Amino acid sequence: MQCRVAVLSDIHYDRAACDDGVQGCLNGRALLTEAVHYLNACIAPDLVLVLGDLVEAGDTEAGLECLRELRPALDLLAAPVLAVPGNHDPAPEVFYSVFAAPPAWLDAGGVRFVPFVDPEAPEFNAHRPVASLDRFAEARAGFEGALVSVQHVPLFAPGACDCPYNYTNAEEILRVMNACGAGYAISGHYHRGMEVLHANGLVSLVTPALCRAPFRFLEVRFSDGAIAVQGHALPPFHDAP
C-alpha cells in the first residue's frame, strides 16, 4: 500500500496581510497558482486535501465570489481534490455550490479518507455531532486499510499538545476512532501548524497555513502501516509595488 497525499490549508485567498502583520505580503492568486504547479510538477500526489479557510470573507457575497475566482487554479491540479470548508468560508451549502460535495469517503492508494464538515464551537473550536460518529464504522466495514479523519479544526487527544483549538468532544471522537481502528486525523485551522502528534492511538497532523510565510503545505506518505510527513515551503510572494 502506497499513498501520497498533499495537504493545502488556510489559503485565505483574499486576506490583506499575513498573520505576522506584514501588509501586502500576500497575493492569493499567485500563491495558489504556484502551489498548484509545484504539486503537479514536484509531488504528483494521489490526492490533494484542501482543508478549509480557502477565503477570508466568510459567508458573504464577497466570499462566494472569491471561491469562484480561486476554483480555476485548483482545477489545474492533476490529482483529485477533496475540499472541506473552514470557519472563514461561506456556509457549507454555498461552499459546495462551487466545489463538488464530498463523498462519504474517498480511497486513494489503499487509504480511506473520511471528510467531515462539523459545526463550530466557541473559541474557534469545533464539535462533531454524535450522528456523524457512525461514519467511522461505516467506512471501516469491509476495509482493512488506514482510515483518516479529514476536517478543518485540529483533532487530537485533549491535553496532548499546546494547540489552542480542538474538538469539544475530542475524547468521545477518539473512543470511536480507536474502536474502529481509525488512526489518523488531518486538519488545518491552526496557522502555525504543529509537529506530528502521536497520542491515545491517534496520529494528528495539523497543516500550516499556506497564507502565512513561509507559505507551507504538507506531503504525507502512507506506506505499509507507517506514515511519513514532509513539509514544503513556497518562495515568498510580494505584491507589486
For 17, residues 6+ apart whose C-beta sits below 8 A from its C-beta are 23, 24, 25, 26
The counts of H helices and E strands in the chain are: 5, 13
Task: Please tell me whether residue 135 binds Fe ion under the rule CB under 5 A.
Answer: no
CB of 28 to Fe ion, least distance (A): 13
Task: Please tell me whether residue 63 binds Fe ion under the rule CB under 5 A.
Answer: no
* Residues in contact with Fe ion, shown as a per-residue x/- string from 153 to 182 under the rule CB under 5 A: ------------------------------
* Piece of 38-46, 58-66, 80-88, 232-240 that binds Fe ion (CB under 5 A): 80-88
Cell numbers linked to 186: 488531518
Give the burial class of 66: count Cβ atoms within 10 A of its Cβ; 0-12 exposed, 13-18 middle, 19 or more buried.
buried
Strands 226-233 and 216-223, sheet pairing = antiparallel
Positions 183 through 202 that interact with Fe ion (CB under 5 A):
189
Task: Please tell me whether residue 208 binds Fe ion under the rule CB under 5 A.
Answer: no
Task: Please tell me whether residue 212 binds Fe ion under the rule CB under 5 A.
Answer: no
Task: Please identify the residue of the shown chain whose CB is closest to the bound Fe ion.
Answer: 53
Residue type, 111: V
Q: Give the span between the Cα atoms of 126 and 109, in whole angstroms.
A: 29
| Residue 211: how many other CB atoms lie within 10 Å | 24
* Residues in contact with Fe ion, shown as a per-residue x/- string from 14 to 53 under the rule CB under 5 A: ---------------------------------------x
CB of 82 to Fe ion, least distance (A): 17
Task: Please tell me whether residue 89 binds Fe ion under the rule CB under 5 A.
Answer: no
Residues lying near Fe ion in the complex (CB under 5 A)? 10, 53, 86-87, 189
